[in-house]
């Protein structure tokens, strides 16, 4: 399997996991040691309306990224760019409240993976065109 498909799959699964069945579960990766996504957004000074909007966009982009990886490769870059922008925001919010490396690491890793897809370096097997 090509690296661009693997990265797309990993990013999609991580995003979908965080925004579906792990939404209301505690995690060592939550900012401000929050117990769920709503508490985490509140720690950043954001309300549930913003959380829901972010979730809808991130889940939608993750699905588009999966479709791109396995059917329509032209969808990969725009979806990865959208997720990357959200990850920039996530890293910013983690840093802004003084989170350590552990809560910040997943967002930073997802940002890096998305940038690899967007910048399309040689060797990831991205289809030409």
Q: Which tokens belong to 29? A: 């990766």
What radius of gyration, in Å, describes the C-alpha atoms of the chain? 15
Is residue 90 a part of any domain in this protein?
yes
Is residue 76 a part of any domain in this protein?
yes
pLDDT in tens, the chain (129 residues): 799 999 999 999 999 999 999 999 999 999 999 999 999 999 999 999 999 999 999 999 999 999 999 999 999 999 999 999 999 999 999 999 999 999 999 999 999 999 999 998 877 888 775
Q: What pTM was estimated for this model as a whole?
A: 0.94
Evaluate whether 75 touches 65 at the Cβ level (below 8 Å): yes
79: number of Cβ within 10 Å: 25
Query: CB within 8 A of 6, min separation 6: which ones?
Result: none
Q: Domain of residue 63: give its range.
A: 3-22+37-119
Give the helix ranges, DSSP H, for 30-100: 37-43, 48-70, 76-96
Q: Which tokens belong to 102? A: 């552990």
Is residue 52 a part of any domain in this protein?
yes
Query: CB within 8 A of 11, min separation 6: which ones?
Result: 62, 65, 80, 83, 110, 113, 114, 117
Q: How many domains in the chain?
A: 1
């Amino acid at each position: 399997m090509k690296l661009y498909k693997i990265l797309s799959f990993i990013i999609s699964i991580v995003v979908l996991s965080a925004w579906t069945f792990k939404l209301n579960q505690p995690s060592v990766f939550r900012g401000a040691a929050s117990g769920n996504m709503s508490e985490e957004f509140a720690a950043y000074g954001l309300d549930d309306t913003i959380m829901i909007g972010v979730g809808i966009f991130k889940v939608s982009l993750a699905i588009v990224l999966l479709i791109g990886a396995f059917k329509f490769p032209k969808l990969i870059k725009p979806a990865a760019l959208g997720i990357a922008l959200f990850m920039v925001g996530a890293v910013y919010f983690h840093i802004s409240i003084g989170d350590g490396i552990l809560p910040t690491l997943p967002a930073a890793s997802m940002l890096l993976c998305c940038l690899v897809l967007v910048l399309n370096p040689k060797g990831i097997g991205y289809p030409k065109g």
